[in-house]
Copies of this chain bind each other. A is one copy, B any other.
């Protein structure tokens, strides 16, 4: 049987957000094929590990990131997608808080870097396609799942959340209506702390209450922007 020659990899599109920029984590490949070109981090799945374990291992090995949220994106299986032969890749979609760790490159990666999704380099394999699908998923999903909080600091001012949504959706949002809508969902805790950066009135800090969110979800109340 010829199926024994199919190899399985996992790849992860890792998104981060900082001050109005959505970035994606890429590595510069150390070995052929596509040596020296940029790619999504990933690698072969080992026999004893689950797909998620493989993703976390590869990400840790290659980049040093701490993942905050992980979900399966899509499996790419066209016969000609990898010049090394038949390689099927299960792609994942990850969210991180970029300022919560330091990047470092190792194993298969010569370099690791954040790239703004508006300004991406040429990518290896079919990784451009994978990234496009991941971006669409992120843009679509933040309107009906509370993913945004996974990209912000644990405690954040409302304006950060608003700016994140404006950036991701690529359109203006009415600040007052947005605030009303989010607060009416009752999944944010307003803290006593305030923050002030530069001039302007200091902002109250908020925190996502995941426990309450899951309970509301169980009761059938859905998140929606």
Contacts and interface: CB of A to CB of B under 8 A. Distances in A.
Interface of A: 1-8, 44-51, 72, 74-75, 77-79, 86, 88, 90
A16 B46 CA distance: 37
A4 B1 contact: no
Contact of A7 (B6, B77, B79): B6
List the number of copies, as a whole number: 2
Contacts of A90: 75, 77, 88
Contacts of A49: 79
Contacts of A78: 50
Given A1-B44, A3-B44, A50-B78, 14 more contacts: A2-B46, A2-B47, A2-B48, A3-B46, A5-B47, A6-B6, A6-B8, A6-B45, A8-B88, A47-B79, A48-B79, A49-B79, A75-B75, A75-B90
Contacts of A74: 72
22 contacts: A2-B48, A3-B8, A3-B44, A3-B47, A4-B4, A4-B7, A6-B6, A6-B7, A6-B8, A6-B45, A8-B8, A45-B77, A45-B88, A47-B79, A48-B79, A50-B77, A50-B78, A51-B77, A51-B88, A72-B74, A75-B75, A88-B90
Nearest to A44: B3
Contacts of A75: 51, 72, 75, 90
A119 B44 CA distance: 40
A5 B1 CA distance: 13
A44 B88 CA distance: 13
A88 B88 CA distance: 11
A6 B88 CA distance: 11
Contacts of A8: 3, 6, 8, 88
Contacts of A88: 8, 45, 51, 90
B6 A86 contact: no
Contacts of A46: 2-3
A5 B49 CA distance: 13
A119 to B, nearest CB: 25
A144 B129 CA distance: 24
Contacts of A51: 75, 77, 88
